[in-house]
Amino acid sequence: MNIIPKAKNFKESGTINIASTFQADEKLLCCKKAFFRIVFKIYGVHLKEGEGGINLCYDETLAKDEYVIEGATVKASDKEGASSGLATMLQLMEKAEEGFTLRNTCIRQKPDKDFRAFMTDLGRQWHEFEALIGYVDLCYLNKIKYLQLHFTDDPIWTYPMDEFPRLGNDATRYTKEEIKYLVEYAEEAGVQLIPEFEGIGHSKQLIAAYPELFGNTYEEETEEVQAVTGPNMGKVDNIMCVGKPGIFENIQKMLSDIAKTFKYSKYIHIGCDEAKHENWAHCSDCKAYMERQRMDSTKKLYSHFVEKIVDMCISLGKTPIVWEGFPYEGTENISRDCVVVAWESHYQLAPELLESGFKIINAAWKPMYIVPPHHKSLQWSVTDGDWNVYKWQHFLAMSAAYPDPIIVEPTDRVLGGMLCQWECSLEEERPRVLLNLPMTADRTWNVEGFYTDEEFHAAKAKIMEMSEKLI
């Protein structure tokens, strides 16, 4: 069969010859531009409009996201189904002396999970803009619906903010024009972008650029303060000051900028993990804010901060996503419209998040994290250990998912899974992404009946060959 993701309903009978042409029903013409450019990148062929080649047909009887392939015809009722069907067609085609040969198949497919995602870390290792274009193309080919862009972190700020021009620098900050181009490019491909703004923690760049707006005001650096914050932490802190006058108004401006720019995006990721909330006990502004709010712990203040940013996102018409990492205390006040990425199984665990009413995404450290090659023991593949979207594993004893995995009962509130690339240069991550992204596609498209490790490695040659030409 050799189709990735694995096709549930698949019949094949020889090959047919088709012309280098394409025609589509008017309701699905929006899929043409992306398909034409991907065909050119992979096969070096400029498709033309006309009969005798691939035919894209609107079929209102098909479910949302579903597609059918019959020979050279793709049928769908919406853009996502059509894009997925055309992406499958790319795997069935081979360039011929004239036109293409096409495996003559009957396929009917619909994904089990909507949230099929890849995240790339731009806040620790800057990537050329063309790499982002390449990742949109890879997502298209692999039927990965969401591409998360981790724009900001302690080392680098890459997102352009008109109202905060001191953020980032010209060498590693994308331009507004580049981002707007990327937004339109992804929309044409049917790939939804998820911009990530690291709220609360991981904010060293933000605080360094605007300490007067976001920085904590620490008391005299006694031994007690240094034990929590480190020497001179007030100058290099990476956690926002929740008590700073105007803090929420300024965060609202940032989120409004992101929401406006990423106009097609359903989600905004707002970070909210790994914040050293203990620091706030030594900040005069935060202590005053806690008194006004009648709070007795920095953990409750942490959840309050998450609550405020989540509500801002919702007010902008976006669904907020956060990392697992906020405390239990005060969690009851956070909107359940917020989606949580469960990754480390250390803060709040997947069963507990589900029990308390959150929808969650599986980004289990093992095997869904790609990290630099010098971490030699962490170079696993998604098929290792029979991973699926209901299973969390880790490699460290500090995690509740070590040594035995956490497994939850199948539920629609596990939205899907996300492959995450952290701290790598493009050269370091590229071979791992090319291998693991189709694996992720298979195991998020198919909750059951996906390829075994052996089957996947027998099926991967075609899609990896095409992927090499995209990034």
CATH code at position 44: 3.30.379.10
DSSP 7: P
Strands 9-18 and 406-407, bridge-based pairing: unpaired
Residue 233 is predicted with a pLDDT of 45
Query: Is residue 235 helix, strand or coil?
Result: helix
DSSP 135: H
Is residue 230 domain-shared with residue 326, that is, in the same domain? yes
Residue 2 is predicted with a pLDDT of 85
Q: What residues make up the domain containing 400?
A: 115-467
Supply 217's token pair: 């005001």
Is residue 89 domain-shared with residue 193, that is, in the same domain? no
Is residue 101 domain-shared with residue 127, that is, in the same domain? no
* Longest Cα–Cα distance in the chain: 79
**Residue numbers of the chain with a pLDDT score lower than 50:** 228, 231-235
User: In this structure, is residue 130 part of a structural domain?
Assistant: yes
Residues 156/162/163/166 CA torsion (nearest 10 deg) = 40
Residue 8 is predicted with a pLDDT of 87
Is residue 53 domain-shared with residue 141, that is, in the same domain? no
Domain boundary among 89, 109, 129: 109
CA distances from 419 to 117, 307, 444 (A): 6, 26, 10
User: In this structure, is residue 53 part of a structural domain?
Assistant: yes
Beta carbons of 206 and 169 less than 8 angstroms apart: no
Supply 372's token pair: 């630099």
Is residue 71 domain-shared with residue 202, that is, in the same domain? no
Domain boundary among 109, 135, 161: 109
Is residue 196 domain-shared with residue 58, that is, in the same domain? no
Strands 414-421 and 359-362, bridge-based pairing: parallel
Is residue 203 domain-shared with residue 149, that is, in the same domain? yes
Angle between helices 32-43 and 129-142 (to 10 degrees): 100
Is residue 203 domain-shared with residue 166, that is, in the same domain? yes
Residue 225 is predicted with a pLDDT of 52
Is residue 354 domain-shared with residue 276, that is, in the same domain? yes
User: In this structure, is residue 173 part of a structural domain?
Assistant: yes
Beta carbons of 280 and 298 less than 8 angstroms apart: yes
Least Cα distance to 113 among 362, 457, 374, 342 occurs for 362
Burial class (CB in 10 A: 0-12, 13-18, 19+), 172: middle
Report how far residue 383's alpha carbon sits from residue 417's, in angstroms, rounded to the nearest whole number: 13
Query: pLDDT, tens digit, for every residue of 181-199?
Result: 999 999 999 999 999 999 9
User: In this structure, is residue 255 part of a structural domain?
Assistant: yes
Beta carbons of 123 and 27 less than 8 angstroms apart: no
User: In this structure, is residue 4 part of a structural domain?
Assistant: no
Structural Rg of the chain based on CA atoms: 23
User: In this structure, is residue 17 part of a structural domain?
Assistant: yes
Query: pLDDT, tens digit, for every residue of 32-53?
Result: 999 999 999 999 999 999 999 9
Residue 384 is predicted with a pLDDT of 82
Residue 223 is predicted with a pLDDT of 56
Beta carbons of 301 and 280 less than 8 angstroms apart: yes
Query: pLDDT, tens digit, for every residue of 324-370?
Result: 999 999 999 999 999 999 999 999 999 999 999 999 999 999 999 99
Residue 1 is predicted with a pLDDT of 63
Domain boundary among 109, 132, 151: 109
Who's near 213: CB < 8 A, 6+ residues apart?
Answer: 244, 246, 247, 250
User: In this structure, is residue 3 part of a structural domain?
Assistant: no
Report how far residue 225's alpha carbon sits from residue 278's, in angstroms, rounded to the nearest whole number: 10
Report how far residue 198's alpha carbon sits from residue 165's, in angstroms, rounded to the nearest whole number: 17
DSSP 393: B
Is residue 324 domain-shared with residue 349, that is, in the same domain? yes
Is residue 192 domain-shared with residue 152, that is, in the same domain? yes
Domain total in the chain? 2
Find the CATH number of the domain harbouring 392: 3.20.20.80
Is residue 294 domain-shared with residue 433, that is, in the same domain? yes
Beta carbons of 362 and 390 less than 8 angstroms apart: yes
